[in-house]
Amino acid sequence: MKARIENNQIVVYPELPIHYSSETLGTPLVDFRTMPNEIHESEGFFYVVTPDIDPFTQKLGVICFDEDRRYFTYPVEQLEVPLPRPLAEKRITKLEFVNRFTSDEFKAIIAASKVNADIELWMMKFNLATYIDLNSGQVNEGLQGLEAAGLIGAGRANEIIQNQY
């Protein structure tokens, strides 16, 4: 992508024109796009360089020409109020999830699922899941329920989420 200044305004060209003519180059040139960069620059067409930004804390300013580097670019501006970042999905396999429990904890959950409908429902959902998203409210509620039922110790729900045990 290139741009140039026309009538005191910067015009961005996603593609250069195929046919182009000017006072210095003369009659319409066929396939101006394939001409060397030196000819483009002699006509005021310079590359546009877009800096990488963090879209949650920064934005692009108004395009301008960098005289030193000889290209068009955008200044990076800080947002006055940063945008909230979405929670990254933290998916793990079911085996990775089970491995966060002690053997005794998981055996107790299996045994309880045979006599407690709430625990049986939790096990059914677990078995039907494709993966476990540790940021999911359902996963957190389920672990809190296991804690409340005494199947895992106090504080274990958070430890299992954080993989600290």
Tell me the residue type at 3. A
User: Average pLDDT for residues 58-64, to the nearest whole number?
Assistant: 94
Structure tokens at 33: 């796009």
Per-residue model confidence (pLDDT) at position 136:
85
Is residue 164 over pLDDT 70?
no
Q: What residues contact 154, with CB distance under 8 A and at least 6 apart?
A: 147
Average the pLDDT over 78-82 and give the result: 88
Share of the chain above pLDDT 90, in %: 59
Residue 149: predicted pLDDT: 92
Strand partners, 77: 59
Strand residues in 7-145 grouped as ranges (E): 9-13, 20-22, 26-29, 46-49, 58-60, 64-66, 71-73, 76-78, 91-92, 132-133
- Which residue type, as a one-letter code, is found at position 132? I
pLDDT band per the 50, 70, 90 thresholds, residue 59:
very high
- The reported pTM is 0.52
- Give 87's pLDDT tier (boundaries 50, 70, 90): low
Average pLDDT over residues 99-108: 94
- Which two tokens mark 27? 């009659």
Q: What is the rounded average pLDDT of the residues 132-151?
A: 90
The encoded tokens of residue 120 equal 């049986």
Distance separating alpha carbons of residues 68 and 103, to the nearest angstrom: 66
Average pLDDT of the residues in 84-100: 84
Q: Report the relative pairing of strands 91-92 and 132-133 from DSSP bridges.
A: antiparallel
Q: What is the pLDDT of residues 1-46, one digit of tens each?
A: 999 999 999 999 999 988 888 877 777 766 888 889 999 999 999 9
